[in-house]
Structure 1
Amino acid sequence: MDANLLHDIIFYVMYASLAIALVIMTERALYFAYTQRQARKLERALTPQVRHAADLPHSLTQRNSLPLAVILPVLEQKRYAGDREALGDTIDAQYLLSKPMMGRGLWLLETIVTAAPLLGLLGTVMGIIETFKALAASGVSEPSLVSAGMGTALYATGLGIAIALLCLVGNNYLQSCMERINELLKVLLIRAGTPGSRPDSEADGQWLENGAQRYA
C-alpha cells in the first residue's frame, strides 16, 4: 500500500476524531449542566411530604430530565406499596439505570485519548518511510529536503499528542461532573424513598440511615 496515501488517511482519521471529541465534550457538558441544575432544584423541592409527582412544583415536572425520571418510579412505589424491601429494590434499579444515560459517549472519548497518540506515531512512521523512499528514488541527498519531509512526518505525532491532551482534560472534567451528579441522584433517591411524616420517627431515621449506607 502507498505509504503516502496511508499517511494522509491517518491525518483524516485524526481530524475526524478531534471533531467527534469536540462534539461529545460540548454535548455532555451542556447535558451535565442542565441535569445538575434540575437535580439541585429537585433536591430543594423534594421534602418528606412529597409522595407523588403532583406534589412537586409544576416548573420541575413540565420538562423531562434525568433526575425527575429517576425519582418518579420511587415515588409511585412509595405511594402504592408499603414494602420497604421492594422500595429499596426500586431505588437500586433506578440508580443503576441512570448510569448508561450519564456515561453515553464517554467511552468514545476515552478511546480517542488512547488511540490519538498511536495514530500520530503511525502517521510519523509512514511519513518517514515515504520520505526515504522518495529520496532513494530520486537520488537527492539535499539535507533541506530530508528536514522538510521529517518535519511533515513528525507533525502527525504532535497532532496526536495534542488531540489526546485535549480529550484527556475534557474527559476528566466530564467525569468530575458526572460524579457530582451521581451524588445528587443518590440524595434524591434516598429522599424520594423516605416515608412521610409519621409518629414512628425512629423508624424513619433508621430508613434514612439504611439508605445512606446503601450508597456509601
Structure 2
Amino acid sequence: MNTDLMHDVTFYVMYGALAIAVFITIERSLYFAYVRKQAARLLAQLTPAVQNERGLSEEVTARKSLPMDMVREVLKQKHAGGSRKDLDDVVETQYLASRAPLARSLWIVETIVTAAPLLGLLGTILGIIDTFKALASAGVSDPGQISAGIGTALYATGLGIAIALFCVVFHNLFQDRLERINDQLKMLLIRASMGARVTAPAELTPVQAPHYRTA
C-alpha cells in the first residue's frame, strides 16, 4: 500500500472540501440576502386590497424570486375565489415547498463538518506510517527527522479541524437565517391571503318528510 500517495490524496480531498464549502457559503449568503430583500419589498406592497398580481408593482413581479413565486400562487387562488379551506391549503403548500430551495446544499456543509476532522486524522495516521517506514529503511541518523515527519503528519489533523470549524460557524449562521426567512415568508403568505372573497359553503337542504295522501 502506497501510504505516501494516500496521504497526498487525503490533503487533496480536504482542499477540495474546503473549496466546496467556500463556494456554498458565498452562494447561500447571496441567495438568502436576495430572498430577504424581495420578501421585504412584497410585504410593503401586499395589502388586503390586492386581489391579484396586477395589484403589485413591476419592480417585484418582473424578477423571478422565491417569495414572488409563492405569492403568485396564493393570489391566483385568492382571485379565483373558492372556500377558505382551499386558500389555506394553497398557503400551506407554498410554505412547505419553500423549504427545499432554501435548504439546498446545506447538507453538504453539514457533511463536511463531520468528515473533515476524520479525513485529517486519517492523513495524520498515514503520514506517521510513512515517516516510520522511511526511518526504518534509512535508520535514525537525526532525531529531528522524526519530529519533522510527525509535524508534517499532524498538519493534516489541524487542517481538518480548521475546515470543520469554518463550516460549523457558517452552518449555524445559515440555520439562524433560515429560521428568520421562514418566518418572513410565513408572514408574506398570510398577508397575501388576507382580504379574500371566499365562497361560503352551501347550506345543506334538510330532507323533507314523505307526504302521504289520506283518503
TM-score of the aligned structures, taking structure 2 as reference length: 0.89
2:51 and 2:79 in contact (8 A); partners too: yes
2:71 and 2:189 in contact (8 A); partners too: yes
Aligned counterpart, 2:9: 9
Matched to 1:174, the amino acid is F
In the alignment, structure 2 segments of 5+ residues that lack a partner are 199-215
| Counterparts of 2:47 and 2:82, CA distance in 1 | 18
Between the two proteins, the alignment pairs up a number of residues equal to 198
TM-score of the aligned structures, taking structure 1 as reference length: 0.89
Matched to 2:144, the amino acid is S
> Which stretches of structure 1, 4 residues or longer, exceed 4 Å deviation after superposition?
none
3-state secondary structure, aligned to 2:98? helix
Aligned counterpart, 1:174: 174
In the alignment, structure 1 segments of 5+ residues that lack a partner are 199-216
2:79 and 2:196 in contact (8 A); partners too: no
Q: Deviations over 1:21-74 (max 9, x none)?
A: 000000000000011011011111111111111101111111111100111111
Residue 145 (str. 1) matches residue 145 (str. 2): yes
| Per-residue deviation, 1:195 | 2.0
| Per-residue deviation, 1:141 | 4.5
Residue 121 (str. 1) matches residue 121 (str. 2): yes
The structure with more helix, counted as a fraction of residues: 1
Aligned counterpart, 1:202: none
| Counterparts of 2:158 and 2:103, CA distance in 1 | 29
1:50 and 1:196 in contact (8 A); partners too: no
Aligned counterpart, 1:205: none
Aligned counterpart, 1:35: 35
| Per-residue deviation, 1:93 | 0.7
| Counterparts of 1:103 and 1:46, CA distance in 2 | 26
| Per-residue deviation, 1:197 | 8.7
Give the aligned CA root-mean-square deviation in angstroms.
1.3
Q: Which has the larger radius of gyration?
A: 2
Residue 103 (str. 1) matches residue 113 (str. 2): no
| Per-residue deviation, 1:82 | 2.2
1:124 and 1:155 in contact (8 A); partners too: yes
5 Å-filtered alignment, 1:1-216, equals 1-196=1-196
